[in-house]
Amino acid sequence: MSNITGRIREAFRGDQRVDPDVLIARLDAVRRFLTAVDGLLPDAELVPAHTLVERAGTRLALSRDHTVVALAGATGSGKSSLFNALAQLELSPVGVRRPTTGVTHACVWGPLEGANRLLDWTGVLPRHRFVRESALDADDETALHGLILLDLPDFDSVQRSHRLEVDRLLGLVDQVVWVVDPQKYADRVIHDSYLREFHRHRDVTLVVLNQADRLPPSELPRVLDDLRRLLDSDGLTGVPLLATTAIDPAGMVGLRSALERTVAERQAALRRLAGDVDSVVAGLDELVGSARPAGGPDDATVAGLNRALAGAAGVPAVSEAVERAYRHRAGAATGWPLVRGWRRLRPDPLRRLHLPGPTGEATDPAAESLVAATSVPDPTAAQRSALGLAVRAVADRAAAGLPAAWPTAVTSAARSRHDDLPDALDRAIAGTDLGLDHRPLWWRIVGGVQWLVTLAAVVGLGWLVLGYALRVLGLPALDNPMVGEVPLPTVLLLGGLLAGLLVAALTRPVVRWAAQRARARARQRLTVRVAEVGEEYVLAPVRIVLASYAQARDALRDAARR
């Protein structure tokens, strides 16, 4: 687009009715629009815009000294006769049989070399190119220097290839002269299929009623008035309407003067591009509208998505496993030392899910290098359905108020990474710190107390066994200290056992309460990680589409400014 800027400024200077800088900005806005909607809107809807951007750069790069004007009309309208009369040469075949003009002929006023690249672009074959350079010394021809006049095939030809050629060239030329005759000037084909489509190109459209000599002088004004009425209904109000006759030089004065003004102004290319931008913007307006969507779905919809993701990721199951793992590990740390070994034989609940095992447990380095894969149960059919509905709700809420072409793009964006969600959720669960990576201080204190009372019970038991053994062997009995009426060894044994049971009983509700807190904390952390997955895999793509819509809307608004 920067190249287009330089070419326009170099080619068109001075007092211009079509401001080159404004046109540049509008073309750049169309390009920004196409960038914003790339991959989001149907390609078929964007063909005119792509064509405009490409054509603008190509047309302005080819020539700054030539104006391409096409004579278009139906069979028998006499456009080839006008072509020959303007060129003052017999260049294009004239007749009444269909089709008469089967190929495009070109006449160049001025050196042919300077126009060849432009004619190559329009597709006019070299053998159908003619030049009026030899007559440029005449005053009546000098004013047309730089004109490239095309005689197009008949648009109502029975040959489909002729009609396609006409349609192609009508999209390339700078100005169109529509040639009608008194018999078929009201034909619906030319009005419905062509003239009406050119209502945004009024500045580069000219209509001539040819063969005016066939009408009685009294009838000509009436026919011209009727033709003007038809043109007004086609949206071509203000388009010049001339009466011509190819057999009388006086009947060509008005058309020749109009062409001379067009050539002298060197505005036709800019006017044509401005009209093309108007047409493209009008065609794209219904794709964009003027809606101003929010930055994404509302909080309630996002919360619903997070709940569905949590269910599909197995957050409730993992949270429950955290609670059971906390109780399991707390029991192993604070329980009676003599039965701790038996507790360790039971599998850790988190380890069974391939989640972080007990604190201090050795980890296989080879396993750490692999992609995390937990053994969390797969989501049920109900959970998968709930997730699908939640994603759809996000798309529907985000697309509310957008034009018809955009909800599909938003929905596609919301589901664009749906197949990656299971692995992403699994990695999020596996990578979440569940809060069980360290032993609480109170575990150590209670565990130390349990070891002390157990040691006391063992000492008391050993003391009693030693006394019993001495009595069996007939050796002098030990003089056991007394605690009241009870020997000290008995106090140590029974006190140690009872103290261990009491500590375990007092610790159990504390462990249960702490396990519930660990479960809530783990659930909160898991929910946050799952929400991050939802943001990355569902919400972010939706917000990108909404941002693209806002950019496209703003770009199209800029393109519409004149």
* Count of other CB atoms within 10 angstroms of residue 11: 16
217 close to 190: Cβ distance less than 8 angstroms: no
> Is the per-residue pLDDT at 138 higher than 60?
no
293 close to 549: Cβ distance less than 8 angstroms: yes
Cα separation, 290 vs 104, whole angstroms: 43
> Is the per-residue pLDDT at 31 higher than 50?
yes
Give the up-direction half-sphere exposure of residue 426: CA atoms within 13 A in the CB hemisphere.
Answer: 16
Check residue 192 and report its DSSP letter: I
Give the pLDDT of residue 357: 52
3-state secondary structure of 177: strand
> What are φ and ψ of residue 32, in 5° steps?
-65, -35
Query: Would you list the DSSP string of 393-423?
Result: HHHHHHTTT--TTHHHHHHHHHTTTGGGHHH
> Is the per-residue pLDDT at 424 higher than 60?
yes
3-state secondary structure of 487: strand
Q: Which of 123-137, 177-191, 291-305, 381-395 has the lowest mean pLDDT?
A: 123-137
Longest dimension (CA), the chain: 160
Residue 355 CA: distances (Å) to CA of 242, 425, 427, 428, 529: 87, 14, 11, 11, 15
Mean pLDDT of 247-252: 86
Its CATH architecture, for the domain 65-265, is 3-Layer(aba) Sandwich (3.40)
Give the up-direction half-sphere exposure of residue 410: CA atoms within 13 A in the CB hemisphere.
Answer: 27
> Is the per-residue pLDDT at 555 higher than 80?
yes
Check residue 323 and report its DSSP letter: H
Nearest CA-CA partner of 504 in 457, 453, 462: 453
391 close to 414: Cβ distance less than 8 angstroms: yes
> Is the per-residue pLDDT at 380 higher than 60?
yes
> Is the per-residue pLDDT at 35 higher than 90?
yes
Looking at the DSSP bridge assignments, the partners of residue 482 are 487
Q: Which of 234-248, 316-330, 392-406, 540-554 has the lowest mean pLDDT?
A: 316-330
> Is the per-residue pLDDT at 67 higher than 80?
yes
Check residue 510 and report its DSSP letter: H
**Can you say how many angstroms the Cα of residue 244 is from the centroid of all Cα atoms in its chain?**
53
Give the pLDDT of residue 119: 92
> What are φ and ψ of residue 251, in 5° steps?
-80, 0
Question: Which residue has better confidence, 156 or 390?
Answer: 390
Nearest CA-CA partner of 512 in 326, 315, 333: 326
pLDDT band at 100 (very low <50, low <70, confident <90, very high): low
pLDDT band at 99 (very low <50, low <70, confident <90, very high): very low
- The fraction of the chain above a pLDDT of 70, given in percent, is 87
- The fraction of the chain above a pLDDT of 90, given in percent, is 31
Where do the structural domains in the chain lie, given as residue ranges?
Answer: 1-64+269-288, 65-265, 299-560
> Is the per-residue pLDDT at 13 higher than 50?
no
> Is the per-residue pLDDT at 64 higher than 80?
no
Mean pLDDT in the chain?
A: 83
How far the first Cα of the chain sits from its last, in Å, is 18
Give the pLDDT of residue 133: 61
